[in-house]
């Protein structure tokens, strides 16, 4: 889950990272009032969940409250990479001497967290990464002990910092690492981390991505969610209590059990098809859940055929078949459907499906081949 700059800023402040005073506005006159309160030149910044706002005209300096109002008027409603700006952050403007980069990411290859720094921060960091990767320095944190002081100092030295800046950088990088860990983030980035003209470090732009799979540990983060940033079907899935992940294939998968759902996707791939989603509807297959899952799958226009892969363990297959038939009565589905049904009472279950005109099999391979064929038609 991506969060907005003004939200990420609140988080890193709790880790004693200096940030400019700021507040959020959704109409221009509010922006003016914030600028009046701050009693200083301000920067007005679009709050959208994409990078490159500066280059798109979404970051504007304003010397007076009137200018701040005008800047907010220009930025609010603007489209940046297809997203309409609905909020701006008005922050005390920082006098910039140098722009640095500081980022914390999961480094899968190293199986730990990497802290990265560059003396060439700012809007062209991607270009630096491409053309002069040696200008980006990296330290790997210890999985249990975290980022050591000496590592932070080495980063600072490699970035050309010394004296007070080196000490402050050490605190800021360790603070950002701590924020990353405690929030279960997958990315925490300050770009630019600014050296001000009076020799202080200030986090001028903060970005954080939180790990969706850890959100259950942070009930308070739910309030940070921007509904416009979430896939509609994934939101529905989450609210229904399904594990649902949208993919870009053509075969909608509805499976009971996460392991079986993974295997189903693998088998579809193996025979040349492509799954449109991962969906675990959980144990059993009561008609309400099947119906809800159908609604989810049908909402994806990429789905050309549906595969139900059900293993009837505790739930009897005839009950499952009745559930599927009832669900289809409730949610008419014009797409071809293939059911693979095995387990207790499977013969009875399949007979019921056949009466209702639904193709079924007990073989996962056959089911995959059948559904791939139907998705092609
Ligand atoms: P991004 O383009 O989405 O990454 O937005 P940033 O907040 O990083 O702003 C882009 C650029 O605008 C920065 O790299 C700075 O050069 C400039 N900028 C942002 N805030 C300030 C500020 O307070 N003062 C000055 N002088 N420049 C700023
Ligand atoms: Mn930035």
Binding site membership of 60 for ligand 1 (Cβ less than 6 Å): no
Q: Which residue in this structure is represented by tokens 């002081």?
A: 149
Binding site membership of 59 for ligand 1 (Cβ less than 6 Å): yes
Position 231 scores a pLDDT of: 80
- Computed over every residue of the chain, the mean pLDDT equals 94
Does the pLDDT value for residue 284 go beyond 70? no
Q: How do beta strands 22-25 and 88-92 pair?
A: antiparallel
Query: What tens digit of pLDDT does each residue of 176-211 get?
Result: 999 999 999 999 999 999 999 999 999 999 999 999
Distance between CA atoms of 164 and 162, rounded to whole angstroms?
Answer: 6
Query: What tens digit of pLDDT does each residue of 132-149 get?
Result: 999 999 999 999 999 999
Position 287 scores a pLDDT of: 78
Distance 50 CA to ligand 2 centre (A): 10
- Give burial (CB, 10 Å; 0-12/13-18/19+) of 210: buried
**213: confidence class by pLDDT, cuts 50, 70, 90:** confident
Does the pLDDT value for residue 285 go beyond 70? no
Region 154-166: what's the mean pLDDT? 97
Region 214-228: what's the mean pLDDT? 92
**167: confidence class by pLDDT, cuts 50, 70, 90:** very high
Binding site membership of 54 for ligand 1 (Cβ less than 6 Å): yes
Atom 4, ligand 1: which residue's CA is nearest?
52
Distance between CA atoms of 339 and 153, rounded to whole angstroms?
Answer: 60
Q: How far is CA 143 from CA 154, 164, 289, in A?
A: 19, 28, 40
Q: Give me the count of residues in the chain.
A: 377
Distance between CA atoms of 17 and 374, rounded to whole angstroms?
Answer: 56
Query: What tens digit of pLDDT does each residue of 258-268 get?
Result: 999 999 999 99
Binding site membership of 94 for ligand 1 (Cβ less than 6 Å): yes
> Which among 54, 93, 100 is the best mutation to test ligand 1's pocket, defined by most ligand atoms within 8 Å of the CB?
54
User: Could you write out the three-class secondary structure of the chain?
Assistant: CEECHHHHHHHHHCCCCCCCCEEEECCHHHHHHHHHHHCCCEEEEECCCCCCCCCCCCEEEECCHHHHHHHHHHHCCCEECCEECCCEEEEECCCEEEEEEEEEEEECCCCEEEEEEECCCCCCHHHHHHHCHHHCEEEECECCCECCHHHHHHHHHHCCCCHHHHHHHHHHHHHHHHHHHHCCEEEEEEEEEEEECCCCEEECCEEEEECHHHHHHCHHHHHHCCHHHCCHHHHHHHHHCCEEEECCCCEEEEECCHHHHHHHHHHHHHCCCCECEEEECCCCCCHHHHHHHHHHHHCCCCCCEEEEEEEECCCCHHHHHHHHHHHHHHCCCCCCEEEEEEECCHHHHHHHHHHCCCEEECCHHHHHHHHHHHHHC
Does the pLDDT value for residue 293 go beyond 90? no
Q: Return the CATH number of the domain spanning residue range 231-376.
A: 3.40.50.261
Q: How many other C-beta atoms are found inside a 10 Å radius of the C-beta of residue 127?
A: 11
The residues that are catalytic are 101, 189
Distance between CA atoms of 243 and 293, rounded to whole angstroms?
Answer: 11
Region 323-343: what's the mean pLDDT? 90
Distance between CA atoms of 26 and 86, rounded to whole angstroms?
Answer: 6
Binding site membership of 204 for ligand 1 (Cβ less than 6 Å): yes
Q: Return the CATH number of the domain spanning residue range 21-92.
A: 3.30.1490.20
Query: What tens digit of pLDDT does each residue of 226-263 get?
Result: 988 888 888 888 888 888 998 999 999 999 889 999 99
Atom 10, ligand 1: which residue's CA is nearest?
54
Position 229 scores a pLDDT of: 85
Position 29 scores a pLDDT of: 98
More confident residue, 139 or 280: 139
Does the pLDDT value for residue 161 go beyond 90? yes
- Correct CATH for 96-224 of 3.40.630.10, 3.30.420.40, 3.30.470.20, 3.50.50.60: 3.30.470.20
Position 316 scores a pLDDT of: 83
> Which among 51, 59, 101 is the best mutation to test ligand 1's pocket, defined by most ligand atoms within 8 Å of the CB?
59
Does the pLDDT value for residue 315 go beyond 80? no
Q: How do beta strands 2-3 and 277-280 pair?
A: unpaired
Confidence (pTM): 0.80
Distance 86 CA to ligand 2 centre (A): 19
Domain boundaries, the chain: 21-92, 96-224, 231-376
Residue 57 backbone phi and psi in degrees, to 5: 85, 15
Query: What tens digit of pLDDT does each residue of 76-132 get?
Result: 999 999 999 999 999 999 999 999 999 999 999 999 999 999 999 998 999 999 999
């Amino acid at each position: 889950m991506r969060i907005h700059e003004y939200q990420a800023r609140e988080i890193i402040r709790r880790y004693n990272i200096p940030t400019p005073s700021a507040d959020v506005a959704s109409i221009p006159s509010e922006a003016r009032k914030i600028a009046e309160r701050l009693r200083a030149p301000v920067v007005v910044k679009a709050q959208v969940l994409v990078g490159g706002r500066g280059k798109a005209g979404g970051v504007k300096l304003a010397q007076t409250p009137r200018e701040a109002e005008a800047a907010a008027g220009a930025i609010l409603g603007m489209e940046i990479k297809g997203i309409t700006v609905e909020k701006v952050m008005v922050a005390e403007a920082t006098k910039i001497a140098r722009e640095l980069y500081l980022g914390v990411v999961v480094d899968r290859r190293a199986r730990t967290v990497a802290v990265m720094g560059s003396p060439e921060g700012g809007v062209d960091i991607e270009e630096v990464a491409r053309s002069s990767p040696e200008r980006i320095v990296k330290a790997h944190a210890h999985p249990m002990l975290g980022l050591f002081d000496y590592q932070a100092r080495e980063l600072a030295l490699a970035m050309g910092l010394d004296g007070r800046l080196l000490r402050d950088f050490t605190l800021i990088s360790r603070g950002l690492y701590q924020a990353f860990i405690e929030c279960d983030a997958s990315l925490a980035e300050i770009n630019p981390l600014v050296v001000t003209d009076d020799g202080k470090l200030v986090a001028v732009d903060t970005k954080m991505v939180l790990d969706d799979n850890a959100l259950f540990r942070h009930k308070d983060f739910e309030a940070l969610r921007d509904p416009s940033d979430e896939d509609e079907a994934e939101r529905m899935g989450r609210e229904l209590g399904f594990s649902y992940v949208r993919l870009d294939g053509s075969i909608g998968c509805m499976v009971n059990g996460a392991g079986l759902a993974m295997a189903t996707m693998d088998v579809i791939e193996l025979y040349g098809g492509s799954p449109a989603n991962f969906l675990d509807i959980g144990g059993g297959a009561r008609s309400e859940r099947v119906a809800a899952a159908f609604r989810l799958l049908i909402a994806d226009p990429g789905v050309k055929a549906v595969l139900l892969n059900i293993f009837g363990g505790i739930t009897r297959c005839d009950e499952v078949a009745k559930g599927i038939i009832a669900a289809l009565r409730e949610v008419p589905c014009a797409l071809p459907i293939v059911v693979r049904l095995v387990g207790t009472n499977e013969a009875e279950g399949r007979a019921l499906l056949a009466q209702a005109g639904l193709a079924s099999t007990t073989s996962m391979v056959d089911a995959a081949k059948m559904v791939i064929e139907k998705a092609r038609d």
